[in-house]
Amino acid sequence: MPPEKRNNRIAVYFTKSELSLLESEKNRLNEDSASKVIVKICKDYFNNLQSDHEEKIESMTDDERKMLQKHEEDLKEIKKDLAVITKILQNLEIKK
């Protein structure tokens, strides 16, 4: 998946308050600080998804489990995207 599409897909998962925080952080401080905020938001989001997933799986019907399998595939893609973003941000820090 091209980086621009991957980045757009991840941005969909940010809440308005998270995007606002990121924008204010980017404007207020520097690129490095904004990068750390992005990583934190992504990690928090992924951890919340995992917690919700574990709670809901216990009470699912067969149809819900089929849907869950699709969502699990989406989660794997999000996790890969997060790893790519983290690596890019780490490379930016190394170059500084």
pTM of the model: 0.36
Instruction: Label residue 93 by pLDDT band (50, 70, 90).
Output: confident
User: Which one of 2-11, 55-64, 65-74 scores highest in mean pLDDT?
Assistant: 65-74
Structural domain range at position 65 = 3-95
Domains in the chain: how many in total?
A: 1
**Is the pLDDT reported for residue 5 higher than 60?**
no
Contact criterion met (CB below 8 Å) for 38 and 89? yes
Q: What is the pLDDT of residue 35?
A: 73
Range 18-37 burial, b when 16+ CB lie within 10 A, else e = beebbeebeeeeeeeebbeb
Could you tell me the sign of the dihedral formed by the alpha carbons of 34, 86, 52, 10, in that order?
positive
Query: What is the pLDDT averaged over residues 50-73?
Result: 81
